[in-house]
Amino acid sequence: MNGEFLFKLVLESIGLVFFSIFFGLLFKGIDRKLVAHMQSRVGPPIRQPFLDVMKLMNKENIVPKHAVKWMYNLAPLICLTSSIIILFYIPIGSIHPFLEGHGDIILILYLFAIPSLAMVAGGFASSSPFATVGAQREMVTMISYELPLSIIIISMVWRLSNIGGNVFSLQFIAQHPLWNSVGLLGFIGLLFLLFSMIIVTPGELAKVPFDVAEAETEIAGGLTVEYSGRNLAMLYMADGVKIFAFSAIIVALFFPYNISQYFNLNSLISFIIDFLFFLLKVFLVMLSSVTLIRAGMARLRITQVVSSYWFTVSLIALIGLVLLMWDVSLKVGW
């Protein structure tokens, strides 16, 4: 029995790896195409990310002469691996997470930090001055968006603590949507938290207007300036997987609903419908939090990134937390 379980787990893990890379690159291609149309350009075909990865895999992997070679080569692998592992803790449609347990929402926050830390290490290891500046900017950006992100998670977990149960589990949060248990003030508070999460997303994913760590026109790509071949391909895939994973996190926190329950269908059809509905929700989240913002805004300065997250976005998230607290107080009073 243990052997069968292990074999099944290995197959599921391999399937999830291919699933995450495929849809990460697919959504990346859709994002590039939509942004191009919004800016009156033709843009690359949707399949372009797949073509880029295949081309990079066949290119020579060049390592700078003065780089710390082992760290330089290890960073892209860690970046891609940690991005894929995140999806092991996220419910996908009606599929429970492959790995789940008490406190996994905290683990997910740490896992999201690992790809950025790996890129920072790779940037410093490359010995490039452009990559060094990019690594410094990436660390500052990480410190900035972690505060509002923590406030958002703490707010939702605190509100769920009134229900009881494993409130630090993402699967538990997804099974108990807060929209169903809050009043008017709580509903408005959740809207504030959702808005904060949408603003945090481009910073977490290093997208415009918070892509100061790459800034092609300023520091020639920053963290990835010296990477090529298979290493650059892994970073490219990791970026797509991370976009998909973070959008899936937002779906699990704010939009965990399935629609198969409203139809009298067999289990297989219900599974397919919930899966397709999940992909639609992820796409809409990516559209609103990455694509539209990237198409309509210009890059901020690093000082503006810090002030935006530490003051503006953190204040909005705190307002959401206060509204949730008032909502509970009013219910207790009644």
Q: Long-range contact list for 210-215, CB < 8 A, 24+ apart? A: 210/141, 210/145, 210/299, 210/300, 210/305, 211/299, 212/137, 212/141, 212/299, 212/300, 212/301, 212/302, 212/305, 213/119, 213/134, 213/135, 213/137, 213/138, 213/141, 214/134, 215/134, 215/137, 215/299
Contact 330, 185 (CB under 8 A): yes
Alpha-carbon gap, residue 159 to 155, rounded angstroms: 6
Q: What integer pLDDT is reported at residue 261 of this predicted model?
A: 76
Compute how many other C-beta atoms are within 10 angstroms of the C-beta atom of residue 161.
Answer: 11
43 lies in a domain? no
Residue found by looking up tokens 């609103």 in the block: 288
173 lies in a domain? yes
Per-residue pLDDT tens digits for 78-133: 999 999 999 899 998 888 888 877 778 988 888 889 988 998 888 888 888 888 88
No. of helices (H) and no. of strands (E), the chain: 13, 0
309 lies in a domain? yes
79 lies in a domain? yes
Q: What is the residue range of 282's domain?
A: 52-333
| Residue 21: partners with Cβ closer than 8 Å, 6 or more residues away | 84, 237, 240, 241
Amino acid 119 reads: M
DSSP letters, 84-148, are: HHHGGGS-BTTBPPSS--TTHHHHHHHHHHHHHHHHHHHHHHTT-HHHHHHHHHHHHHHHHHHHH
17 lies in a domain? no
273 lies in a domain? yes
DSSP letters, 245-312, are: HHHHHHHHHH----SGGGS---HHHHHHHHHHHHHHHHHHHHIIIIIHHHHH-PPPPHHHHHHIIIII
Q: What integer pLDDT is reported at residue 218 of this predicted model?
A: 67
Alpha-carbon gap, residue 110 to 299, rounded angstroms: 26
> Structural domain tally of the chain?
1
118 lies in a domain? yes
Q: What integer pLDDT is reported at residue 193 of this predicted model?
A: 95
Per-residue pLDDT of the chain (334 residues; tens, 9 = 90+): 466 667 777 787 788 888 889 998 999 999 989 989 888 888 889 999 999 999 988 888 888 888 888 888 899 999 999 999 998 999 988 888 888 777 789 888 888 899 889 988 888 888 888 888 888 888 888 889 999 999 999 999 999 888 777 888 898 889 889 998 888 999 999 999 999 999 999 988 888 788 887 777 767 667 788 888 898 899 899 989 999 999 999 999 999 988 877 777 777 888 888 899 999 999 999 999 988 888 888 788 888 888 999 999 999 999 999 999 998 877 655 5
Alpha-carbon gap, residue 140 to 303, rounded angstroms: 9
259 lies in a domain? yes
Alpha-carbon gap, residue 290 to 208, rounded angstroms: 8
Alpha-carbon gap, residue 94 to 96, rounded angstroms: 6
Q: What integer pLDDT is reported at residue 200 of this predicted model?
A: 92
